[in-house]
Amino acid sequence: MTPVIIALDAQGASLAVKLAGVVGGETHGLDRRTEGLDRAFTDLRSHLAELFQAGRPIVGICSAGILVRMLGPLATDKHSEPPVIAVSATGDSIVPLLGGHRGANDLARRIAGITGGHAAITTAGDAIHGVALDAPPAGWKLDNPGQAATVMARIINGEPFNTEGDLPFDLAGTTEGSSLRIVGSEAPVTVDDGLLYHPQRFVVGVGSARNCPPAELEELVRTALKESGIAPGAVACIASIDLKADERAMLDLAAALDVPFRLFDAATLEAETPRLANPSETVFAEVGCHGVAEGAALAGTGQEGALVSPKRKSANATVAIARAPQVLDPANIGRARGTVHVIGIGPGRADWRAPEASRRISAADEVVGYDLYLDLVSALVPGHRMTAFPLGQETERCAYALEQAAKGRTVALISSGDAGIYAMAALVEELAADGKVSEAARRVEISVTPGVSALQAAAARIGAPLGHDFCAISLSDLLTPWEAIEKRVRAAADGDFVIAFYNPVSKRRRTQLARAKEILLTARPAETPVVLATDLGRPDEHVRTTTLGALQVDEVDMLTTVMVGSTATRTYASAGRTRVFTPRGYAAKEFPKP
């Protein structure tokens, strides 16, 4: 992931630009103290927290103490934290603070090579032996990672050990016959005391009938691996034809083996026909290539790869295994299934955004949304990975995200508030369900990340108006007939629900809110509390209260959420401000006196 280089003054900005030109980082500078950088920020603590929670590597050209104090409370899981590095303003000292084995040590060494400074590597394994036993290089899998820290500690303390087989690093054993073993093997071997590494040189190609039972495919694959003498950890990926992108059995198999699922089109698999052991005219007639399992395995291992386990089959599935002479990078094999993350970014404040939302936005290949929403997340992703759509092109926006994902990309489609409440998630699902996008786009993964909706934010700002039963109604009749909206308002009035009105007015729609007010006044008193919340979570935020009888359309705009209380909703004064709440009935219970 692209690192962010943080500068706090002119000297730091100059070094940031120099480093970014070599390591490919993005430069962020403190506003009014730096210039000429990619992005400016005003509050260092909140900016660092946003980047850290999004998983962005951070290079701070500042004292280590600043980063420690500001990020220390957030550092809770060393297995998921991004690299954090402190660099002195002169570039003489480079200190990896977090994520040493997740890229910080390597990045520190690269920076030291640019500045001529010293990379202060403090992780014990790197410092003493130059290797990180718990973080093997790409293409290698540690079979028992839970033992790595203990084994490294024993080695550092001078305990003798043996090395056996093909290993991803130079770590010479010290004593023959020692019980502590560091082993590298393609085969499934047992290491009772030590660590076992597998070189990932194998691709498992699979084919299946539609809706093949997942257990059947997994059993077929595990049997083929066992009989071929191949450890599951030596598998680089599962591969198949792109028509199977959404095949549950294959997705479950990849998850069970903890490897990526990669896809090839029929033309690519057909090109492997001369190397197939079992070409099939039947398969060609069905999908356009003479072999799926064997073809995918061979395509995945490249021209130098070879079948080690030709096609075998069960009632509903086929499997073949090929081996490459070198370890494999699945990112360079075929394409991924593709994913659309539909993400609610909340009302606007970074600290109201779910950490999952920030991580998914930062890691996406492309971020799609309305211009205003993209501005709100601009610190998380370089501008060249953003695609903006204007208001009114919601369908085009969602279809674009699905079609980009169909190319194997990970796309973040963002909405303000919660993506599933009057936002993009429903439209994405509708396009996929109704076949309004390509077949490939219908096979991509769709996930939804929740956000703080406007009704939640408004309620939090004023007290607890949603303390009992409530509903949300959009007053926009652009997509819903007014007759249906009015029916819902009457039902909510009869049911005595607290009501959050979304889209209450626009420049052209001025009558709907007034009509809703008339309906509600037939069922609840004019003194009913009403909350008007505008620009929630943004610099111009304004939250105020009025009553149902006094509510005026002209005091509401498109960015206002209108919340009308039930007959039970109450107000009271606190510190000169009005608080609003709807009791649940706890007052009827007996409480001990203070």
463 and 367 share a domain?
no
538 and 424 share a domain?
no
209 and 325 share a domain?
yes
Distance CA(81)–CA(53), nearest Å, equals 8
Whether the CA torsion 64, 68, 69, 74 is positive or negative: it is positive
pLDDT computed for residue 252 by the predictor: 98
pLDDT computed for residue 592 by the predictor: 63
pLDDT computed for residue 590 by the predictor: 61
Q: Please state the φ and ψ torsions of residue 79, each to the nearest 5 degrees.
A: -80, -15
106 Cβ neighbours under 8 A, 6+ residues apart: none
pLDDT computed for residue 568 by the predictor: 96
The DSSP line for 217-230 is HHHHHHHHHHHTT-
Q: Which helix (H) or strand (E) holds 183?
A: strand 181-184
Q: Can you tell me whether residue 335 is helix, strand or coil?
A: strand
**CA-closest candidate to residue 337, choices 414, 423, 407:** 407
308 and 215 share a domain?
yes
CATH number of 318's domain: 3.30.420.180
483 and 438 share a domain?
no
219 and 320 share a domain?
yes
448 and 397 share a domain?
yes
206 and 327 share a domain?
yes
pLDDT tens for each residue of the chain, 594 residues long: 789 999 999 999 999 999 998 888 899 999 999 999 999 999 999 999 989 988 899 999 999 999 999 998 888 877 778 999 999 999 999 999 998 777 888 899 999 999 999 988 877 656 555 677 888 888 999 998 888 888 888 887 888 888 888 888 887 766 666 889 999 999 999 999 999 999 999 999 999 999 999 999 999 999 999 999 999 999 999 999 999 999 999 999 999 999 999 999 999 999 999 999 999 999 999 999 999 999 999 999 999 999 999 999 999 999 999 999 999 999 999 999 999 999 999 987 888 899 899 999 999 999 999 988 998 898 888 778 999 999 889 999 999 999 999 999 999 999 999 999 999 999 999 999 999 999 999 999 999 999 999 999 999 999 999 999 999 999 999 889 999 999 999 999 999 999 999 999 988 888 999 999 999 999 999 999 999 999 888 888 999 999 999 999 999 998 899 999 999 999 999 998 999 999 997 766 666 666
pLDDT computed for residue 175 by the predictor: 64
CATH number of 23's domain: 3.40.50.11220
pLDDT computed for residue 155 by the predictor: 83
Q: Which domain holds residue 179?
A: 140-199
383 and 291 share a domain?
no
How many domains does the chain contain in total? Answer: 5
pLDDT computed for residue 149 by the predictor: 81
**CA-closest candidate to residue 349, choices 455, 457, 423:** 457
